[in-house]
Structure formats: structure tokens, C-alpha cells
Amino acid sequence: QALETTMIDRQSDLTQPLATLNDNEQLKARSRHLRGDIATGLADPLTGAVPGDDPLLMKFHGIYQQDDRDVRADRRQRHLEPIHQFMVRMRIPGGVLTKAQWWGLDDLSRRYAERGIRITTRQTVQLHGIRKRTLRALMQGLRDIGLDTIAACGDDSRGVVCGANPSLSDAHRRVAELARATSDRLIPKTRAYPEIWYQQTPANNDATNEEPVYGELYLPRKFKVGYALPPINDIDVYGQDLGLIAVVDNGVLHGFNVCVGGGMGQLDTREDSYPRLAEEIGFIDADQAPEFAETVMTIQRDFGDRKDRHRARFKYTLDRLGLNWFLNELARRRGEPLQPARPQRFQHNGDRLGWQQGNDGLWHATLYVESGRVDDALRSQISGLLQQYGGRLRLTTNQNVQLTHVEDHEREQVQWRLDDLGLSWRLRPDSQAAHTLSCVALPTCGLAMAEAERYTPRLLDVLQRLKAQYHVADTPITLRLTGCPNGCARPYLAEIALTGRAPGLYNLYLGGSFHGDRLARLYAGNVDEEQFLGLLAPMLEDFAAARHSGEHFGDFLMRRHWLDTTPVALTHL
């Protein structure tokens, strides 16, 4: 045991001198638990930006400094400062909002944001285009409606996602409660947040214990936790750093199969970066889940790579130190090994759109929102709808919105209202649209190399026309589009994915599974629309002719060995 511990200690970057760690680690260390000079930068009226390293620190507060990339070149040519603006990401565990919170968001987004409300692939809300002078007012407005943004970004545990609509059954409710308890447990405790944003007076007492779990250096990188409830893998549980898969028998939640080490991000410039599926490692009792999440997170805290930031995610820690090492360390910290994983099966990773009734008799209507973008009209329509019934709202990890808790006697009225407002199609959208996700990309994302959200309508149109040629337009195929390889729409888990390389050019990935449990393979590099449609055409033709009943496109491509050969286009990489 002593020998093993010594070996482990030598592998931990936390035992290395700070000067040997990467710049972000140094920044965190001198930030006084995420304070930096943010408050001073906010007060400077001469620029729309915050200076120095503070934009990096602000990420821990859920805020990204961005600029409008549509006008960046023009501004540069005219020697003008970029149009600096901020993206604010909320922390909404499980995506559950009250009506008052939605109305509050509606109001705040009209007052302070430029691009409506954006539902994200981690079931929360982002507001874009906020100016520095109004940032604090927005943050206080959010506080007033019971929302915050702490650790929605940064090197910490990000918003905990949960696929269970709490109202569907007792088991769903329990899973949602555990997801919220996990979020509460893993949230950073620094008082920097209320001091800076709510202007609360700093406490005089010693700040050394301000972060009992995270310490001064927080995590080496972001850490993502998600809860899924089979048969629906809507959260893409195998893309999470830590995934908890509910095991329910006869309506009773027994516990969770746990899987570790998922992640999508990769860099074109680093061959040693890659997307990775989380591996199932065992089973835990339900009540243990929040503490278990903390234990796994603290192993990553202690052993994640703090020198090479591009290899700092938990997936790389696992590959570097080995799964057996991790299981031993986990057992040592928990005082017991994991129980064997129990049988469970997923059927798909999309949302169930339309009406659904819970065991408690209440109804829930899931409405499709293309790329999660809630524009002015939809925002008002949802706000109006919420005036009329006693329910609530839930955001999904497929960027959709769910009206929840509709009483039986209200359902007909809500349906009429949906009809009146022209929203009924959102309950039953085109099946391809319903299985498509795209990330924000241009014009706000600083990392985007190609369009994603703004290209989605056209992509859906051309793909559906191609599918129609082969009479497979009604067969849903999971399609994910991102503006760069980072994978914010979880492309490497889709049956067809396009990840941006340059304006109008994408890498084409194929062959993920419909359940989100197999990685797609790179099939072609740097292809434009005409080229990728040309590559897909013979596959769809073959699919129409030779697929088995109920077979999904990704499985079909694997069975027919479509992905075994390297097409010419790959040489352009």
C-alpha cells in the first residue's frame, strides 16, 4: 500500500512546484479564489473589454468575453476596437425552470442581450451580446429570479445534466433530485462571485478555507457529470467525464451504472487529442451518487495533467494512468470496490417530442427548437403560453424546450393555444430536424472556423432532398454540426457529423450509433457541401436498398463496411 501511494504521489501534478505547471494554473493560484482584477476591469469605461487575464477568470463565473466576428475584420481595418461583448451561461441543473424564471429570462434577455435566448446542449441558457456596462445589472437580475452562472464555465464541475423529467415517475423524480444534489455538492464555494457581481462586502476572515474541495487551483480542466435514465440516452452519457445511468426495476430506482472518461474535444493540431467514449466500470447505490461524483472529481483534481492543458481532461488522465490504476484509487478513497454493473439498454439519444403523460397524470409537451435558438417571436409565445396554465418549463440536452406539469383539464386548452400560435408543428417536426444538433459557432464563438447554427436550415434542406431521392426522408439519422473540432454538439456520437475546418469546409464523420454508444469515424476531410453530399449519396442509395428492417444508418454503414476504406477526399486533410 505504501509503495502504491508513493508511486501515485509522483504521478500527481499537485505535488509539483507551481512554476512547472501551465500558465492557467499560475493564473488560478494568484487569482485569490477567482477574484483577479475583475471588479476593477468592469469599472473601466474606456474599453468594452476586461483586460489581461481576467477574461480567463471570468469563465469560472460563467461569462465569456467575445466579439462580433461578423464585423471583426471591418473594425480592424478602420482601427476600431472589436465590438466586445459577453456571453453569459446559466447554471440550471437538470434544465428545470419555474414560470417566473422564464419570464425573468425573457425580460432580462430583451433588456441586456442581443441574440435572444439560446438553449444549449447541456440544457441551460446562454445569453449573447451583453455589454460590459450592463453585465453586473444582468447578473443581479439573474440573482433576483433565483439563477446564477457560477461554474457554468471554467476548470470546475460544469452544469450537471439530467435526462429525467422529474414528473414522469418516482424514479425520474429521484434521479433529478440526485442530479441537483450533485450540482450543489460540486459547486465552487468561493465568495468572489457574490462580492464581484452582487457587490457584497468581502468577509474579513481567513480565506484559506474558501474552497475546501477545489483548493486554490480548482481542476486541471472542465469536468462534466450527467445522469441518464434508459431507454433514453438524451444526454449522451458516454460523452460525459462521469456518466450515471439509472438502473430502475419495477419503477424503483436501485442505483446507477457508472461510466467514466467520456469527452468529445479534439484539436486538429494535436494527434494525441481525441474524442473518447466513457467506459462502464460498475454500479453504485442511488444515495451514494453525489458523494461518488465528488470522489471521482477529486481523483481528477489530484492527478489530471496541469502541465499540458491540452491533455488535462479526465479522459487523458485515465488513458495515461490506466483504468486499473483508477479503479484501485477509487476503491482506496471510497473504502470499497464498485459493485458489478447491471444490465441496461438505451434505444436512442434524441428527445421524445410531443405530448407525454407522467405517472402522476400530468402532461408534458416537448417542443422542437432549431439549434436551441429562441428568437423574439418564440420567446414571447412561450411566455404567453405560460400565462395560461399552471405548469413549469424544462430545457433538454437536445436544445429543446418542454412545457411540464400540464393538468389533464388544461391539456386541450394548451393544445388549442399551440395551434393558434402556429407552434403545433414543433411537437411533430420533420424527423430529420428532430435528430439534428448544431453548435453556436459564428458570429459569437471565438473558436469557430465554419458556420454551424446559421448553416443548419440549409443543411437540413439539402440533406432531406437527398434522402427523399432515395425514399429514406422519413428515416431519422442523427446529424450533428459544429463549427470546429471541439465538439460542442457532440458530433462524434452521431451517425453523420460535420465539424468545421474553414469557411464552407468540414470534416465528415460517419457511423456513430443511434443510441450514442459508438464513436463516428472520420470519413473525409475538408469537404464542401457538394462533396459531402456526393459522398453520402451512394451510401443512402445502398441504405434504401439493403437495410434490414428497423436498422439505423450508422449500424448499416458499419455492417456494409462502408467505413473500412479511405476515400480520396481524406488526402486533403
Under the criterion CB under 6 A, does residue 224 sit at the interface with ligand SRM? Answer: yes
Q: Which stretch binds ligand SRM (CB under 6 A): 347-355, 402-410, 415-423, 443-451?
A: 443-451
- Kindly provide the b/e burial profile for residues 344-357, where b requires at least 16 CB atoms within 10 angstroms of the residue's own CB: bebebbbbbbbbbe
Nearer to ligand SRM, 120 or 400 (CB): 120
Annotated catalytic residue 445: yes
Under the criterion CB under 6 A, does residue 358 sit at the interface with ligand SRM? Answer: no
Under the criterion CB under 6 A, does residue 513 sit at the interface with ligand SRM? Answer: no
Q: What does 482 bind: ligand SRM, ligand SF4, none (CB cut-off 5 to 8 Å by kind)?
A: ligand SF4
Give me the helices (H) in 422-492, please.
431-434, 456-469
Contact 172, 230 (CB under 8 A): no
Which residues contact residue 516 at a Cβ distance below 8 angstroms, ignoring those fewer than 6 apart?
Answer: 233, 236, 237, 238, 239, 346, 349, 478, 490, 493
Nearer to ligand SF4, 101 or 486 (CB): 486
| Options 115, 158, 315, 490, the catalytic residue | 158
Under the criterion CB under 6 A, does residue 440 sit at the interface with ligand SRM? Answer: yes
Nearer to ligand SF4, 120 or 190 (CB): 120
Under the criterion CB under 6 A, does residue 263 sit at the interface with ligand SRM? Answer: yes
In DSSP terms, 133 is beta-bridged to none
Report in angstroms how near the CB of residue 120 gets to ligand SF4 at its nearest. 9
Report in angstroms how near the CB of residue 232 gets to ligand SF4 at its nearest. 24
Interacting residue with ligand SRM among 8, 50, 83, 87 (CB under 6 A): 87
Q: Which stretch binds ligand SRM (CB under 6 A): 7-15, 37-45, 115-123, 384-392?
A: 115-123
Report in angstroms how near the CB of residue 483 gets to ligand SRM at its nearest. 9
Of 528, 523, 520, the closest CA to residue 508 belongs to 523
Report in angstroms how near the CB of residue 322 gets to ligand SRM at its nearest. 20
Under the criterion CB under 6 A, does residue 264 sit at the interface with ligand SRM? Answer: yes
Of 118, 85, 75, the closest CA to residue 452 belongs to 118
Report in angstroms how near the CB of residue 490 gets to ligand SRM at its nearest. 5
| Options 118, 306, 439, 480, the catalytic residue | 439
The residue behind cell 492557467 is 24
Nearer to ligand SF4, 365 or 441 (CB): 441
For residue 21, the Cα-to-chain-centroid distance in whole angstroms is 28
Annotated catalytic residue 222: yes
The amino acid that residue 512 corresponds to is G
Strand 436-438 with 373-374, pairing: unpaired
Q: What does 157 bind: ligand SF4, ligand SRM, none (CB cut-off 5 to 8 Å by kind)?
A: none
Q: What does 372 bind: ligand SRM, ligand SF4, none (CB cut-off 5 to 8 Å by kind)?
A: ligand SRM
For the chain, what percentages of helix, strand and coil (3-state, to nearest 5) are there?
40, 20, 40
Report in angstroms how near the CB of residue 5 gets to ligand SF4 at its nearest. 39
Q: Which residue is nearest to ligand SRM (CB)?
A: 265
Diameter over CA atoms, the chain: 73
Annotated catalytic residue 89: yes
Of 507, 483, 480, the closest CA to residue 491 belongs to 480
Under the criterion CB under 6 A, does residue 121 sit at the interface with ligand SRM? Answer: yes
Report in angstroms how near the CB of residue 485 gets to ligand SRM at its nearest. 8
Of 305, 314, 214, 310, the closest CA to residue 21 belongs to 305
Annotated catalytic residue 259: no
Report in angstroms how near the CB of residue 535 gets to ligand SRM at its nearest. 25
Take residue 204 and report the three cell numbers written for it: 474579513
Report in angstroms how near the CB of residue 444 gets to ligand SF4 at its nearest. 8
| CA pair distance 152, 63, nearest whole angstrom | 8
Contact 444, 87 (CB under 8 A): yes
Under the criterion CB under 6 A, does residue 35 sit at the interface with ligand SRM? Answer: no
- Contact residues toward ligand SF4 (CB under 6 A) are 439-441, 445, 447-448, 452, 482-484, 486-488
Under the criterion CB under 6 A, does residue 491 sit at the interface with ligand SRM? Answer: no
Residue 82 preceded by cis peptide, ω within 30: no
Collapsing DSSP states into helix, strand and coil, what is residue 30?
Answer: helix
Under the criterion CB under 6 A, does residue 447 sit at the interface with ligand SRM? Answer: yes
Residue 338: CA count within 13 A, CB half-sphere: 25
Contact 54, 64 (CB under 8 A): no
Q: Which stretch binds ligand SRM (CB under 6 A): 134-142, 292-300, 418-426, 484-492?
A: 484-492
| CA pair distance 557, 254, nearest whole angstrom | 36
Under the criterion CB under 6 A, does residue 158 sit at the interface with ligand SRM? Answer: yes
| CA pair distance 79, 151, nearest whole angstrom | 35
x/- contact string, 400-439, with ligand SRM (CB under 6 A)? ---------------------------------------x
The residue behind cell 430545457 is 395
Contact 490, 437 (CB under 8 A): yes
Nearer to ligand SRM, 91 or 405 (CB): 91
| Options 89, 132, 379, 417, the catalytic residue | 89
Region label for 36, one of left (φ > 0), alpha (ψ between -120 and 50) or beta (otherwise)? left
Contact 390, 407 (CB under 8 A): yes
Annotated catalytic residue 439: yes
| CA pair distance 211, 188, nearest whole angstrom | 7
Residues annotated as catalytic are: 89, 158, 222, 224, 439, 445, 484, 488
Give contact residues for ligand SRM (rule: CB under 6 A): 64, 66, 87, 89, 120-122, 124, 126, 152, 158-159, 224, 239, 263-265, 313, 372, 439-440, 444-447, 486-490
